Amino acid sequence: MNEKLKKDISAGKTVERAEMLMLLQAALQAGEPNFVRLLAEDWLNAYPYDLTVELIRAKAYFKNGTAEKAIKIAARLVELDPEYVEAQDLLASTARRVKP
């Protein structure tokens, strides 16, 4: 995490969407799915139709061992936007792992 983002978060300042997405991706790669899920849910309370954050949230559920919840979220994303390729990929790969 860069220093500017650390200072903004510590000071209680608003975080830009791009910075928040960077933070979510970094936390997901670092193996912190609970943090990702909680941060994503906070963001989605303010911006409920942010499909990118929903997708990251679904990935966090999957990494946390809750594949059924990840499938539900990915299926909803595909329903909202059938051309959302990343959601289609997540839905297919998660479903294959749960029900080969």
Does the domain spanning 3-98 belong to CATH 1.25.40.10?
A: yes
Instruction: Please state the pTM of the whole predicted model.
Output: 0.85
Q: Output the CA–CA distances (angstroms, integers) from residue 27 to 59, 81, 92, 96, 100, in the order listed.
A: 11, 26, 23, 25, 28
- Per-residue confidence (pLDDT) for residue 9, from 0 to 100: 66
Q: What's the CA gap between 80 and 100, in Å, rounded?
A: 25
- Per-residue confidence (pLDDT) for residue 100, from 0 to 100: 63
Task: Select from 53, 54, 46, 49 the least CA-distant residue to 20.
Answer: 53
- Per-residue confidence (pLDDT) for residue 15, from 0 to 100: 79
Domain range summary for the chain, segments of one domain joined by +: 3-98
- In order along its 100 residues, the chain shows pLDDT tens digits of 556 666 766 677 777 899 899 999 999 999 999 999 999 999 999 899 999 999 999 999 999 989 999 999 999 999 999 999 999 999 999 988 887 6
